[in-house]
Amino acid sequence: MKVSAAEAKAKLSELIRRAEAGEEIIVTRHGKAVATIAAPPKADTTHASRIGALKGKIWISDDFDGLGPEWDDYIK
Q: Place 2 in a pLDDT band, splitting at 50, 70 and 90.
A: very high
CA distances from 40 to 2, 8, 14, 25, 58 (A): 18, 18, 17, 13, 37
Q: In what order do the strands lie in the sheet with 2-4?
A: 2-4, 25-29, 32-37
What was the pLDDT predicted at 48?
64
Q: For residues 36 and 70, which has the higher predicted lDDT (pLDDT)?
A: 36
| Distance between CA atoms of residues 2 and 25, nearest Å | 6
Mean of all residue pLDDT scores within the chain:
89
What was the pLDDT predicted at 42?
82
pLDDT digits (tens, 9 = 90+) for 19-31: 999 999 999 999 9
Side-chain-side CA neighbours of 34 within 13 Å: the count stands at 11
In the chain, domain spans: 2-39
